[in-house]
Amino acid sequence: MKLVDIKTFVVGNPPPHFGGRYFVFVKLTTDGNVSGVGEAYCVPFAPHLVAQMIEDVFDRYVRGNDPHDIESMWRRVYSSGFTQHPDLTLMGVLSALEMACWDIVGKEAGQPVYKLLGGRVHERLRAYTYIYPRPGDESDVYHDPDLAAERAGEYLAQGFTALKFDPAGPYSAFDGRQLSLDALDLSDRFARKLREAVGNRADLLFGTHGQMTAASAIRLARRLEPYDPLWLEEPVPPDAPDEMAKVARATSIPIATGERLTTKYDFARLLQAGAAAILQMNLGRVGGILEAKKIAGMAEVQHVQIAPHLYCGPIVGAANIQIATCSPNFLILESIESWGGFHSEILVKPIQFEDGHVIPSTAPGLGVEIDEVVASANPYTGSMLHLEMTQNPVR
């Protein structure tokens, strides 16, 4: 069996853009006409250039090889151009190619990928969602704790038992910083209003994106501790695990992080520092499915749990489901609400969501297929990146 063809898709994510402005998908095909799909997460270049990068790496290291030989492919790509370093761009590209190979391998075996990585551990996967805005909202749910509390009740009615929110202010190219007293007060009010609204029916997940210094994160954590969040997410930038460990040691709130890390090497440094209780690898960036399984195994040794990250498209979502299903230390899965809207339309068959849980597919491979007609009808024509940081210091 040999990989002989590649097709890439840069798909615009229509309003309200939950999950990002666009998705970069790849489809690989073998000489036996078996195809597999993958997705790259948040590579920091224009998405059509990212598609060309994926095609270039395929031509150099993947074309003509057997998709089963994932370890060999991984080492060749990881070392591309004399690198051998956790490069975010290259690993995003590799992640897309690697999960497409696993999709093919699963189809050839007639099994879902999780059956090839140790088998099913979890029958259902507990899921959480961000608290998102709605058309017609009279205020901004990201800044209005009363509206967020009202929206939380709607999500609980859908079966969710965990909700994420991020009121700490914008993330900037100049972070970490000390949060202002206003930002601290708003964060406190959000946590209090939401805890009053949900009681013990749902966990609260306090999201941040590296906005703070360790000292500022400790100040925030002390305000949040009375509301017992399940986690405080990425409180300091991802380049300083020792600083994140200072926060972990100073608070009773579990620290979660990992969406901006890649490969087992980054995560090993995080674990060695004792910086996190919950790892949030994104399978469209971390190096693919097998790399995520290795990281989950490393974490299991230290009784650290995993909560696969998702702020992208449903192909990464499907890969997350595979790794969550077969990992004993799985905690919770990020969902984009209940996988409706465009996340459903772009797939031939949507991801199954039931009463706050994802139901792992028993279909072979990743269990999803891209609807290429929908993908072609929604090209991305913008110039902005998937996610962008504020370009000036936040005062």
> Which active-site residues does the annotation give?
209, 309
Q: Are the CB atoms for 95 and 312 separated by under 8 Å?
A: no
CA 149 vs CA 51, 190, 230, 330: distances in Å: 40, 8, 17, 27
Residues paired with residue 38 on neighbouring β-strands, in sequence order: 26
Q: In whole angstroms, give the CA distance from residue 229 to residue 277.
A: 13
Describe the crossing of helices 214-224 and 241-250 by its angle, rounded to 10 degrees: 30
Give the residue from 346, 343, 384, 362 showing the smallest Cα distance to 19. Answer: 343
For residue 243, give every residue at least 6 positions away whose Cβ sits within 8 Å of its Cβ, in sequence order, or none: 176, 213, 214, 236
Q: Please state the separation of Cα 352 from the chain's center in Å.
A: 18
Rounded to the nearest angstrom, the gap between the alpha carbon of residue 19 and the centroid of all alpha carbons in its chain is: 10
Q: What is the three-class DSSP state of 323?
A: helix
- Identity of residue 359: I
Among 146, 248, 151, CA closest to 192: 146
Among 36, 3, 29, which Cα is nearest to 318's?
Answer: 36
Give yes or no for a contact between 127 and 160, defined as CB atoms under 8 angstroms apart: yes
Q: Provide the b/e sequence for 14-41 (b: ≥16 CB within 10 Å).
A: eeeebbbbbbbbbbbbbeeebbbbbbbb
In the chain the first and final C-alpha atoms are separated, in Å, by: 57
Which residues, 6 or more positions from 129, have their beta carbon under 8 angstroms from its beta carbon? 155, 160, 163, 164, 334, 335, 336, 337, 338
What are φ and ψ of residue 6, in 5° steps? -140, 145
Give dist(CA 160, CA 20) in Å, integer.
22
CA distance 357 to 122: 11
